[in-house]
Chains A and B, each alone.
Chain A
Amino acid sequence: MAKKKQKHEPQHRGRIQAQGGGLEESEAWSQNKPLSMREGLNLLEVLKNKLPKKEFLLRESAFEKAKNFIEQAPDIGVDAQVSRTFEVKGTRNIRVDIEVIKGTAFFKINLTHDEE
């Protein structure tokens, strides 16, 4: 059953996930202001630090690609819906995913007037 949107749900949502090979860890955001590039990079760091060292090392190249994606987003950020997969070469599904589900993320210059 589809979940009907509520009037006062947070306007900016998304998640960064480390998946594949039996691992499923994620860091999500859900807030009323767009997510800044700095906040996005922080979430990526938090996710990295949650992983066992072996799992992080396996995904190191994918984390680097995800970091580049966040850093190279346009100054005003990216708008939902965005789904990006950063794979580890030679594996079936070892990856880092970034999903902007709603609103805007990874801005350097905030042009919106959303409430804090």
Chain B
Amino acid sequence: MMKNKFLYKNFLERNHIYSLAKNWWKREFKKQIIGKKTSSGKKINSAYTFNWHNENGYKDGNPIFTVFSVSKQKLVRIIQKKVENEDNQDFIEISAWLQKGFYSNKEYEEEIPELVISLELSRNSSKIAFDWIKRWFDDQLTDEDLERDFDERKSVSA
């Protein structure tokens, strides 16, 4: 695996880098997910991105990106964390879980299955994140998969 290059690592220190990081997530989501075929042959054709109100007041990456897929009726939320140790480029800081999130608009409000990914953004962590997102929309991702992945990476780094 190539060196784990961090992306937008100063996103909490400068507003314009925060905006670049936010836009990166939107752009990559469109590029890697929208219109792409999943392993079951189905396409994610429609997705509705929305910004949480708190993004205006709290530019701390919690969350940095949230998307609701209309066709799949599923949510994805990304929490981007501060890079703690940039010298350790071998360890990939990422974890995820499945839960019931909440989506509401003017007419409806409902509990929706949600994939939450918490990571330090790097070339390698983003690859893992988008692999999970694809599998999530393809109904091929369980909480047990995410737990196993976390335990495996933890044992390798120990």
A8 in contact (CB, < 8 A): no
Known A-B contacts A80-B53, A99-B102; the reply to A85 vs B116 at CB < 8 A is: yes
B108 in contact (CB, < 8 A): yes
A3 near B110 (CB under 8 angstroms)? Answer: yes
Known A-B contacts A78-B57, A80-B104, A83-B63; the reply to A92 vs B95 at CB < 8 A is: yes
Question: Between A and B, how many residue pairs show CB distances below 8 Å?
Answer: 61
Task: Count residues of B near A (Cβ-Cβ below 8 Å).
Answer: 27
**Which residues of chain B have C-beta atoms less than 8 A from A93's C-beta?**
95-97
**Which residues of chain A have C-beta atoms less than 8 A from B58's C-beta?**
84
- Closest CB-CB distance, B83 to chain A, in whole Å? 14
Task: Count residues of A near B (Cβ-Cβ below 8 Å).
Answer: 22
- Closest CB-CB distance, B75 to chain A, in whole Å? 9
**Which residues of chain B have C-beta atoms less than 8 A from A2's C-beta?**
108-110
Mark interface residues in A35-76 (1 if CB within 8 Å of B CB, else 0): 000000000000000000000000000000000000000100
Partner of B62 from A3, A80, A84, A91 at Cβ < 8 Å: A84
B118 near A85 (CB under 8 angstroms)? Answer: yes
Known A-B contacts A92-B146, A93-B97; the reply to A82 vs B107 at CB < 8 A is: no
- Closest CB-CB distance, A57 to chain B, in whole Å? 21
B24 in contact (CB, < 8 A): no
Partner of B102 from A4, A92, A101 at Cβ < 8 Å: A101
| Main SS at interface, chain A | strand
What's the Cα separation between A78 and B57 when bound, in Å? 9
**Which residues of chain A have C-beta atoms less than 8 A from B79's C-beta?**
85, 87
Partner of A101 from B99, B104, B147 at Cβ < 8 Å: B104
**Which residues of chain B have C-beta atoms less than 8 A from A102's C-beta?**
104, 109
- Closest CB-CB distance, B64 to chain A, in whole Å? 12
**Which residues of chain A have C-beta atoms less than 8 A from B101's C-beta?**
83
**Which residues of chain A have C-beta atoms less than 8 A from B102's C-beta?**
81, 83, 99, 101
B54 in contact (CB, < 8 A): yes
Known A-B contacts A81-B52, A92-B97, A101-B102; the reply to A87 vs B57 at CB < 8 A is: no
Listed in ascending order, the chain A residues whose CB lies under 8 Å from chain B are 2-5, 19-20, 74, 78-85, 87, 91-93, 99, 101-102
Which 5 residue pairs spanning A and B have beta carbons closest together?
A: A93-B97, A2-B108, A92-B150, A82-B54, A92-B95
